[in-house]
A and B are shown apart, each in its own frame.
Chain A
Amino acid sequence: MPNAAVKAAAYSLNHTPELALWYGNTPYVERLTHPDSEFLRDLPKFQQNYHEAASYAPNQTYIGAMEIEDFEKREKPWYKNLEPQERRYGRYGEIMPEDETIAFMDICDVFDLIWLEKGFAASIREKLAKHPLMRDDIIARLEAGHEAADIEDEIKTAAALPLYVDDRVIGCARRGHEVDPNLTAYELLVNIANKASAVLSLLHLIKNAGMKPEDVDFVVECSEEAAGDMNQRGGGNFAKAIAEIAGCANASGCDVRGFCAGPVNAIIAAASMVAAGAHKNVAVVAGGAIPKLYMNARDHVKKELPALENCIGSFGVLVVPEDGALPVIRLDAIGKHTVGAGASPQTVTTVLTYDPLKKVGLTFADVDKFSPELHNPEITLPAGAGDVPTANFKMIAALAVMKKAIEKADMVNFTKEHGMTGFVHTQGHIPSGVPFIGHAADAINAGKMTRAMIIGKGSLFLGRLTNLADGASFLIEKPQPKKEEAAVGREEIRAMILESLGELAAGLKSR
């Protein structure tokens, strides 16, 4: 069974507290329904500024500026015990501030939907020009800008949405159609932010892989947004749109959807393409979601905690043919949640962890680290949603006890050793297993880890299309040295030697 390998990973965050304040779903809907609620009044007081966000341990861990083992030693609460040094860049990506993000959204907009105020456009051009990955062809896409009055007018008369930096309107997001509900300013703003954050991760991915944009053959995108119009609401192709801006002239692409199980399915699809030889270098990417910003802010404000959901997350993984050295994605041990499987946590966990392992003669202890949803508990606990990663590890440990792989007394130890603390923003598909791929691949390359399991699950009922649960999983591990070849070689060589000795003997006899 041929496999595929992980060449590189990229993870970035766009810190956009003002997009969150104005266009995160919870405050946005509140502003429509209860415009003068206490929540809206107090929310601005609980913002986390860029310096704090870039010194926040979970964020640094996400972009690879901190190891997970070090992160787990940090004192809690993390939002109080900030790191001494803010980190703009990490091994995998960056934390981009809001002004550059708005400008980058304009760069990624090819339908003049984002207008920037002239002065802002000029100053941000200089700032962006210093960015290590902003090539000239990318910066060239930044518009010269519009008069403030024109922007003001577009907002008043054409239902455009104002864009803020430091509480000042520095542009607007325009609509794409007078009546089409899929082309409103809000929908298009969400799609462009998703696209821009994905392009950012793709640029980092290409750099991390030591490749050129033209080397990318195919892009598989796996966010949860929908791009389309009245006649085809989810037509898509975020993948190709993203590849275009990143400069991947030789790539094509397509989107994979599965709610939060999108990314794991996208990586399995990409690995299958590569293993089958359909494409060589496949980039799996996904941008983040404006609607999920400040999703739990109501509870955070009520408990007087900082509204931490202020970053649009994005990721990228480059899948290439296996070469005996890079960590391998095993296609013979895929976890699959079937239509027939039940939805209970135990069943879902069984079909995604125990079953694939058993298929290849492995057991729980053979997986150094399980990586299910990795939500940052500091965000979810105050919102009453519990500690999602820990709940997953507890279920896996309980299952291991049931299957007699570990003793009941070892459960706590098992969750600590084979699990990890959540460090990812509640950006839906983003925390869904894949944030650990970069850390895992590095640990495997450094010989500190043998095998990790990446698990993604989806809540399909949200779309009202089915009530089924969903999920997939795969293993990443150290490549097996090619043993069989040598053994076969051995027997053949033995036969050849005996044959030639036989000829030698016959020769000697007949002389």
Chain B
Amino acid sequence: MADNKTVKALIGEILGEIIEEAKEGGGRKTKVGLMAYGSELGAEELCRGARLAMQDDPTVKVFCIGPRLAGFEDLNWIETEPDEHAVSAAMEKALSDGVIEGAVALHYPFPVGVTTIGKIFTPGRGKPCFVASSTGTASPLRTEAMLRNAIYGIAVAKSAGVTDPKVGVLNLDGAQTVLRALQKLKESGYEISFADSIRKGGGAIFRGNDLLAGAGDVCVADTLTGNVLMKLFGAWTTGGDYEAMGWGYGPSAGEGWNRVISIISRASGAPVVAGALSLNARAAKSGLPAIVAKELQAARAAGLDELIEAMQPKQAAAEEDVKAPPSEPTDEEIHGIDVLEIENAVKALWKADVYAESSMGCTGPVIKFAKRNEEKVKEVLKAASYL
């Protein structure tokens, strides 16, 4: 262990934590930030949401980030100028410094590959359902994105305490491809449970009815469709300008992404803000990034990369595939051919019935062939301007 001084400091730090918990009651609180500036419903709505969150969920300690608001001085504040850039910057800093473990934001520049998993309230049986995904995008390719959304949706559901989430794929363009891929993952050992549609015949392809009835714990969709669902299920009772129900657009997930940032919209009402804060805290506390990494690793062990590779659009197989002449020992090599042209150069030689193979030894890219063909090789390559 480190030297005495640092151990003592560590003990002091932990003793302080225990005392703080004892004083405030309710065990260790998860510290979560909230962008408290920039809502269409006014900053009061956001702060009411913060207060509601701490009232309904004692494990959450909210830090409001923005200009201190009259009437809400009792909340914990990270004060900034009344400017959205300042608020974003303060949030980033609080996250990196560890002042907060997660954050609920009105907007965030997620890189491609990082998306958020929302949570809605389904009216039929009052059941919650995770919508994978709601903002950002897991991949520019739709089917790959939906496949990754399923994995991230499972991870977020698990981080929120749903141990064996039932997964359904919304009946969109590409749903069958995604479902087949998920079934293949399951066959190769990836643990996943599929939901059953309430419509006759069941199956894991969700229709609108299944969403209203809350037939599954996770509903997979592309992010644009997901975003529409979030708004519909959140604001259908208020005519659309006030999202009253649900837990917001949800925490972020992605390959190698280690920040727990949830999204709400500028039309999210206090109940949704409170729900989002609580969900964010739960994800931060259970270590969502590690859960995402574990899910990805399990899926990768079951062949995720190969399934994704198979989804990639094939370059048009323009050149017809030329057959190589019978192979023979290649005891001569020629250098200096552009590395990106070398496979075409080999095919040009095959077409001229000369056996050749490309390689990359220690003298850069080379084409190898039998020494007796040397003149013909040079002739063919010069004619096709590879040399």
Contact = CB atoms under 8 A, between A and B. Distances in A.
Interface of A: 259-261, 343-346, 348-349, 361, 373, 375, 380, 384-388, 391-392, 394-395, 398, 428-429, 431-432, 456-459, 461, 464, 467, 469-471, 485-486, 489-490, 493-494, 497-498, 501
B358 A343 contact: yes
Contacts, number: 117
15 contacts: A260-B361, A373-B362, A385-B363, A385-B364, A386-B365, A391-B338, A395-B339, A459-B333, A459-B362, A461-B368, A467-B329, A470-B361, A490-B10, A494-B14, A497-B14
Given A349-B360, A386-B335, A497-B14, 12 more contacts: A345-B359, A361-B256, A375-B364, A385-B335, A385-B364, A391-B364, A394-B340, A398-B339, A457-B361, A459-B363, A485-B1, A497-B11
B42 to A, nearest CB: 41
B75 interface: no
Contacts of B14: 490, 493-494, 497
Contacts of A428: 362
Given A394-B339, A395-B340, A458 B330 contact: no
A493 B10 contact: yes
A508 to B, nearest CB: 16
Contact of A344 (B256, B330, B337, B359): B359
A386 B363 CA distance: 9
B199 to A, nearest CB: 37
By secondary structure, the B interface counts as: mixed
Given A432-B362, A467-B330, A493-B10, A344 B343 contact: yes
Contacts of B361: 259-260, 457-459, 469-470
Given A260-B362, A348-B359, A385-B335, A486 B10 contact: yes
Interface string B256-282: 100000000000000000000000000
Specify which of B330, B333, B335, B364 lies most central, judged by the most chain A CB atoms within 10 Å of its CB.
Answer: B364
Interface string B334-346: 0111111011000
A376 to B, nearest CB: 13
Interface in B316-339: 329-331, 333, 335-339
Nearest to B112: A404
A260 B358 CA distance: 18
Contacts of B360: 343-345, 348-349, 392, 395, 457, 469, 471
B255 to A, nearest CB: 8
A233 B364 CA distance: 29
Contact of A375 (B336, B363, B368): B363
Contacts of B256: 361
Contacts of A485: 1
Specify which of B15, B17, B363 lies most central, judged by the most chain A CB atoms within 10 Å of its CB.
Answer: B363
A346 B342 CA distance: 10
B1 A373 contact: no
Contact of B10 (A392, A456, A457, A489): A489
Given A344-B343, A493-B10, A395 B331 contact: no
Contacts of A431: 362
B364 A388 contact: yes
Contacts of A471: 360
Contacts of B15: 497
Specify which of A343, A348, A485 lies most central, judged by the most chain B CB atoms within 10 Å of its CB.
Answer: A343
A252 to B, nearest CB: 29
B357 interface: yes
A384 B336 contact: yes
Given A345-B339, A348-B359, A384-B335, A461 B364 contact: no
B301 interface: no
Contacts of B364: 373, 375, 380, 385-388, 391-392
A346 B14 CA distance: 53
A459 B18 contact: no
Contacts of A261: 362
Contacts of A490: 10, 14
Contacts of A469: 359-361
B18 A343 contact: no
Nearest to B140: A404
Contact of A385 (B18, B336, B338, B368): B336
Contact of B359 (A386, A388, A459, A498): A459
Contact of B363 (A343, A345, A373): A373
A493 B339 contact: no
A117 B214 CA distance: 97
Nearest to A393: B339
A349 B337 CA distance: 16
A67 B111 CA distance: 35
